[in-house]
Structure 1
């Protein structure tokens, strides 16, 4: 996210800014997080807008189960090496399904709305944030209009490189 807490510019279409600030070799948190992943939960917006392509897959196309939160049931969709499973019934049901598929590994939650709902429901164990040296001033915030009580976090790890500050927190309450 940007230094001022935004994960996307106002138009939400330009993600190139993320790749402009690639981590250097001293930040291995991203690689470790990927190795610990067993499933991904993401929202349906990019699918509705036909923005999911083989060139823009979650975690570089890491071949693990992919669950899409949706209000409208549909058949699974294969894009490149990944198959996206569209699940109705709400965020809680989808996250539980992903946790079962992940087994002992972690579940990544992508998208501000899904992540925020997961936090509010108490279904998020950790937050991994990558803060980039850019200020947007406006756009789409990772956490906005939070409707629950404050959530305390315990810092697990912080790695700061010349381009990115990566932070990992455990949710404790």
Structure 2
């Protein structure tokens, strides 16, 4: 079955954003921390990372066949200008299709009947590739539904002091993980991956 993973950049004290949904100038510095260029589907967005992080990003991109995100992230990014930087279809879990958008296109599919349906649709789109889940609230819903296989963390050396954790208000905590199943040391970031431990 298609693997479902979530990936987030996180501070040393466990936050993916500060309390005002910001802090990205610190969390995302590693995307500009080197001299190896990684282009994206957005011609105006090219990452410049260390060689190790560039290989990590390239491997992640090649493995990913579709994404699942929530409506809040979709709105925050204004739909990534019409196409996600990974250049893969995005399934948006939402209560209603946003005004001005088609319910389904090559770039976005809006699913209004729950997170399980959104993941199922993304799996169908991804085929043999992985499904990535972005956004802390959506990631928590996916793991609570028993659909998440792995957690990938880009750990950066900053302490935000307070903010939004990856799995905010998780209803099934404590959640045990196995690993790390991979560790990649970049410049200004350490890329970690863990497997969700099956429930007894």
TM-score by length of 2: 0.74
Query: How far apart are 1:111 and its partner, in Å?
Result: 0.3
Moved over 6 A (4+): none
Query: How far apart are 1:47 and its partner, in Å?
Result: 3.8
| Aligned with 1:119 (options 143, 153, 160) | 143
Give per-residue Cα distances to partners, 1:47-91, cap 9 Å, x unaligned: 445744439x64xx222111101011354389xxx7222110111
Q: For residue 18 of structure 2, what is the aligned residue in structure 1?
A: 9
Give per-residue Cα distances to partners, 1:7-64, cap 9 Å, x unaligned: 1122214533333223411232222111100000001014445744439x64xx2221
Query: How far apart are 1:118 and its partner, in Å?
Result: 0.5
User: d(CA) in 1 for partners of 2:130 and 2:174?
Assistant: 24
User: d(CA) in 2 for partners of 1:53 and 1:118?
Assistant: 22
DSSP 3-state at the match of 2:51: coil
Matched, 1:25 2:34: no
Q: For residue 98 of structure 1, what is the aligned residue in structure 2?
A: 122
Matched, 1:145 2:169: yes
CA contact (8 A) 1:41 1:69 kept: yes
Q: Which segments of 5 or more consecutive residues in structure 1 lack a partner in the other structure? A: none
User: d(CA) in 2 for partners of 1:49 and 1:33?
Assistant: 23
User: d(CA) in 2 for partners of 1:52 and 1:123?
Assistant: 25
CA contact (8 A) 1:6 1:142 kept: yes
Structure 1 residues 170, 145: CA separation in 2 closer, same or farther (over 3 Å shift)?
A: same
Give per-residue Cα distances to partners, 1:118-154, cap 9 Å, x unaligned: 0111101111110111111111110122211533322
